[in-house]
Amino acid sequence: MSEQVLTLAESLKDRARAALGQRNLVFVGLMGAGKSSIGRPVAQQLGLPFVDTDIEIERVSRMTIAELFAAYGEQEFRALETRVIKRLLKGGPRVVSTGGGAFINESTRLHVKRGSLSVWLKADLDVLWERVNKRDTRPLLKTENPKQTLENLMNARYPIYAEADITVLSRDVNKDIMVREVLAAIAEGKKAESKIP
């Protein structure tokens, strides 16, 4: 890599970190949008710890997400999710990847909006379906027509995800490109969909 490219990368990282300040960075979006796979390297670039709320929920409950849904139902799961996210956000700044339904919950959304910068990774149906249809570990997709269920979730949730501070288009490109686009959107404080070459 040339010295100029390295300097630009460092500059982008520094500008994004400065724009974030002491706030948490919270990734929201549907399953398969890339919240963890993009969140982890973004955290690394920003020099912040990374937490995936689903992994944290499984750790504290000693059950998988699917087991929690089966044993207690979605309502109880969402209550646990809200408590875990509220606790995680108190310990910032950090980068947090949330489950697809977390930001939909009004209480959780209020906690995120209080002291965090939220980034919606927005993806179209085909991109999401390509990413999620390979595994059957998604409780909400255990339906007769999982692709239709995914589309229904998009229709219901996208207007709420749109309340996030920043929107970045998630698509099938090199992960480094997505990370750079997220950092640029943070640095520039973009509300609109970010897509840089």
131 annotated as belonging to a binding site for a ligand: no
Question: Does 172 belong to an annotated binding site?
Answer: no
Token representation of residue 103: 């930001």
Name which of 24-28, 37-41, 129-133, 182-186 the model is least confident about. Answer: 129-133
The verdict on whether residue 34 carries a ligand-binding annotation is: yes
User: What value does the mean pLDDT take over residues 190-197?
Assistant: 44
Percent of the chain with pLDDT over 90: 58
**Average pLDDT over all residues of the chain:** 86
Instruction: Find the mean pLDDT for residues 75-84.
Output: 90
Report CA-CA distances (Å) from 28 to 35, 76, 163, 180.
Answer: 7, 20, 10, 17
Give residue-wise pLDDT tens across range 31-58.
889 999 999 999 999 999 999 999 999 9
On whether 15 is known to bind a ligand per the annotation, the reply is no
Prior bond to 146 cis, omega within 30? no
Whether the predicted pLDDT of 73 surpasses 90: no
Please tell me whether 13 is known to bind a ligand.
no
Under 8 Å CB-to-CB from 74, ≥6 apart: which residues? Answer: 101, 139
Torsion-angle region of residue 47: left (phi > 0), alpha (psi -120 to 50) or beta?
left
40 annotated ligand-binding residue: no
Question: If residue 28 lies in a helix (H) or strand (E), which one and from where to where?
Answer: strand 24-28
CATH of domain 12-46+57-188: 3.40.50.300
Domain boundaries, the chain: 12-46+57-188
Per the model's pLDDT, the better-predicted residue between 134 and 14 turns out to be 14
Please tell me what DSSP assigns to residue 47: T
- Any known ligand binding at 100? yes
Span 16-27, pLDDT tens digits: 999 999 999 999
Phi, psi angles (nearest 5°) of residue 75: -60, -45
pLDDT of residue 195: 40
Residue 17 annotated as binding site: no
Q: Which residue has the higher pLDDT, 27 or 137?
A: 27
Rounded to an integer, the average pLDDT of 94-107 is 93
| 5 confidence band (pLDDT: 50, 70, 90) | very low
39 has binding-site annotation: no
pLDDT for res 28: 97
- Asked which of 15-29, 61-75, 172-186 is least confident by mean pLDDT, the reply is 61-75
> What are the residues facing 50 on neighbouring strands?
95
